[in-house]
Amino acid sequence: MRFRARVPLAIALAFALVSCGSGGSGDDTDGAPTDAEPQSTASSDADDADDASATAVESSAEQSGTFRWGTTTMPATMDPTRVGSDSHIAYMLPVYDNLVRADADGNLIPGLATAWTLADDALSLDLSLREGVVFHDGEPFNAEAVIANFEHALSDDSLLAPVLNMIESMEAVDDLTVRIAMNRPGGDLPEILRGYAGMMASPNSILDGTIDQHPVGAGPFALTSINDNEATYERFAEYWDADNIHLAGMSVGIYTDDAARLNAVRTDQLDATFIRPNQLLEAEAAGLKIVTGPRVFIYGMYLNSASDVFSQPEVRQAISLAVDRSSIAEFYYDGGCTPTVQLYPEEYWAYSNDVDDAAYMTYDPDAAAAIIDEAFPDGLSFTILTNTVSNYVGLSEVMQEQFRQIGIDVTVEAIPVNESNTRVREGDYEIAVSALFSANPDPSSFALEYYQVGDTGTFIDPTVPELVERARLTADPALRAEAIGEITDAVLSVGSSMVGICIPDTTFVARTDVDGLVVPMNGNYDFRSVTVGE
């Protein structure tokens, strides 16, 4: 066996912190009926969502300022069917309203659809649409508009086509009712419609091909300008819920460096942003408003199970054994990140109490080294792909050192976010350090995409497809949770291709005159409840 010098992890972490300058939360972005009756949501006031979470800063007054949000990356397109990253949702939400929304606790609530009913056999879904809604160009929102959006999302060059491939046909039952027939059980479809797939654009912008850079939605704000550094929006006076929108406008600006983004809030260049766990003390010392809450957002690694290296279950297991999650959480994230192997926080419905977290979270570098030595007697080397956001560069360097300790020669390649997302989506990587959005668009869809070996139709565990089908027989999260938990246990037992490291405390910071910020458990960043003082 090759000689390995054991460097104390704290020293390795300190080196990584010095080299990258910053550590790493998450912008990068039920009461459901039982199967005995058709599954539906009753019509209700969608604004109830804003009262649902203790993680919200309560809105105190109606004001009309402009809200400036800071994030890390800029989308290449404003067409929701072609956005390759969940981190770009903050740009889309001002413009596009969703058919289905989620409250701060992750429960599905009415959006442009006031109710949805899943048939007993789960093979059709009826959407009841909100009356009196218009797009920014004055065109009415109705059943035909919904069908036009789904047809666009199912087109050949849409990134949403694989997500919506259960749709067999669509019918406008009347002007405000759409019936969707499906070729497999669709209990996951309501959850999917709270994401990009449920964002409704004016059919005119789709037909004339301008949606890419000139989006027209039915959301509370209309896009007024966009460049490489910032997108700006103004209030849409005809918005269906305009009485509850208190901002005159908003903007989303780009700051790839975490320290610079926090400083922009301190110096009044931004009104609010998200921060990393190890920036919390600095934000508190600056007197900024702090909003913290759980979120389905995990720091972790993608292992390409179609590659020669990670097609081997024992090698994937060795990678997990080599990760010192507790020390990363304590030293790199200053205790603001919860070690995990499950890809869901305990507060989320898909988390399973039946999974033996402690067993799968074992840190055993000697066992990992023995596996690597046996599998690769001539040595192993690979490249960690990541993006240029400082948190992920730093975390990649920490992982580089931990893998070096078990005898692996690792190089880190950091490239712009849009490029890294494309590389991962196309399978052009060995291992990637990034955020894992494990419930977007839905836990079952995530399982089918990321536990599959490339595009072969085979899975790292053969039970995954059957369990996914079970999870889609109902829209009730309580009933779906059992199958999702079994998927989690199955993939961990064979060495998961999605390696969770820790779940960060998602924290927003804001200037003191900002109210109404909410950390969503598993919904979109929704700023409709925000107010900004004079």
Higher local confidence (pLDDT), 15 or 92:
92
Contact predicate 94/107, CB 8 Å: no
- Do 73 and 154 fall within a single domain? yes
**In the prediction, which pLDDT does 51 show?**
37
pLDDT band at 62 (very low <50, low <70, confident <90, very high): low
pLDDT band at 505 (very low <50, low <70, confident <90, very high): confident
| Phi, psi dihedrals of residue 298, rounded to the nearest 5° | -125, 140
- Do 385 and 398 fall within a single domain? yes
For residue 244, tell me if it sits in a domain: no
State the burial class of residue 358 (Cβ atoms within 10 Å of its Cβ: 0-12, 13-18, 19+): exposed
| Per-residue pLDDT at 44 exceeds 60 | no
- Do 354 and 493 fall within a single domain? yes
291: which 2 tokens? 């909003």
**In the prediction, which pLDDT does 361 show?**
94
**In the prediction, which pLDDT does 534 show?**
54
Contacts of 500 (CB under 8 A, 6+ apart): 298, 299, 300, 340, 341, 342, 343, 436
Question: Residue 102 belongs to a domain with what CATH number?
Answer: 3.90.76.10
Residue-number span of the structural domain to which 217 is assigned: 53-227+506-532
Q: Which residues pair with 431 in a beta bridge?
A: 303, 384
Of the given ranges (39-53, 88-102, 285-299), which has the lowest mean pLDDT? Answer: 39-53
- HEC-encoded secondary structure of 313-350: HHHHHHHHHCCCHHHHHHHHCCCCEEECCCCCCCCCCC
- Do 521 and 489 fall within a single domain? no
For residue 63, tell me if it sits in a domain: yes
Mean pLDDT of 339-343: 96
Looking at the chain, the whole-number percentage of residues with pLDDT higher than 70 is 88
Mean pLDDT of 206-232: 96
Question: Residue 332 belongs to a domain with what CATH number?
Answer: 3.10.105.10
Cα–Cα dist 175/178, whole Å: 8
Mean pLDDT of 410-436: 94
| Per-residue pLDDT at 251 exceeds 90 | yes
Mean pLDDT of 463-479: 96
| Per-residue pLDDT at 36 exceeds 70 | no
- Do 396 and 480 fall within a single domain? yes
Cα–Cα dist 29/252, whole Å: 12
Share the mean pLDDT of the chain: 88
| Per-residue pLDDT at 160 exceeds 80 | yes
**In the prediction, which pLDDT does 74 show?**
87
| Per-residue pLDDT at 53 exceeds 50 | no
Q: Which residues pair with 110 in a beta bridge?
A: 100
| Per-residue pLDDT at 43 exceeds 50 | no
For residue 45, tell me if it sits in a domain: no
- Do 348 and 215 fall within a single domain? no
**In the prediction, which pLDDT does 456 show?**
87
Q: Are strands 230-235 and 221-226 parallel, antiparallel or unpaired?
A: antiparallel
**In the prediction, which pLDDT does 23 show?**
41
| Per-residue pLDDT at 48 exceeds 50 | no
**In the prediction, which pLDDT does 447 show?**
96
CA dihedral 155, 160, 161, 162 (to 10 degrees): 160
Cα–Cα dist 253/74, whole Å: 8
- Do 500 and 515 fall within a single domain? no
Contact predicate 417/72, CB 8 Å: yes
| Per-residue pLDDT at 371 exceeds 90 | yes
For residue 236, tell me if it sits in a domain: no
| Per-residue pLDDT at 100 exceeds 70 | yes
| Per-residue pLDDT at 201 exceeds 90 | yes
- Do 194 and 315 fall within a single domain? no
pLDDT band at 522 (very low <50, low <70, confident <90, very high): confident
- Within 356-511, strands assigned E span 380-387, 408-415, 431-436, 498-504, 506-510
For residue 512, tell me if it sits in a domain: yes
Mean pLDDT of 400-419: 96
H helix runs in 223-324, sequence order: 258-266, 280-285, 313-321
Higher local confidence (pLDDT), 236 or 521:
236
**In the prediction, which pLDDT does 88 show?**
84
- Do 200 and 117 fall within a single domain? yes
Q: Are strands 221-226 and 100-102 parallel, antiparallel or unpaired?
A: unpaired
Minimal CA–CA distance to 65: which of 270, 291, 288? 270
For residue 104, tell me if it sits in a domain: yes
Cα–Cα dist 145/522, whole Å: 26
Q: How many domains does the chain contain in total?
A: 2
For residue 270, tell me if it sits in a domain: no
What's the whole-model pTM score?
Answer: 0.79
State the burial class of residue 201 (Cβ atoms within 10 Å of its Cβ: 0-12, 13-18, 19+): buried
- Do 477 and 511 fall within a single domain? no
| Per-residue pLDDT at 22 exceeds 80 | no
Contacts of 141 (CB under 8 A, 6+ apart): 112, 129, 130, 133, 134, 135, 200, 218
pLDDT band at 245 (very low <50, low <70, confident <90, very high): very high
Cα–Cα dist 2/23, whole Å: 32
CA dihedral 31, 36, 39, 43 (to 10 degrees): -60
234: which 2 tokens? 């103004």
For residue 276, tell me if it sits in a domain: no
Mean pLDDT of 418-430: 92
Cα–Cα dist 281/258, whole Å: 14
- Do 143 and 101 fall within a single domain? yes
Higher local confidence (pLDDT), 327 or 12:
327
| Per-residue pLDDT at 55 exceeds 90 | no
- Do 179 and 318 fall within a single domain? no
Cα–Cα dist 525/293, whole Å: 13
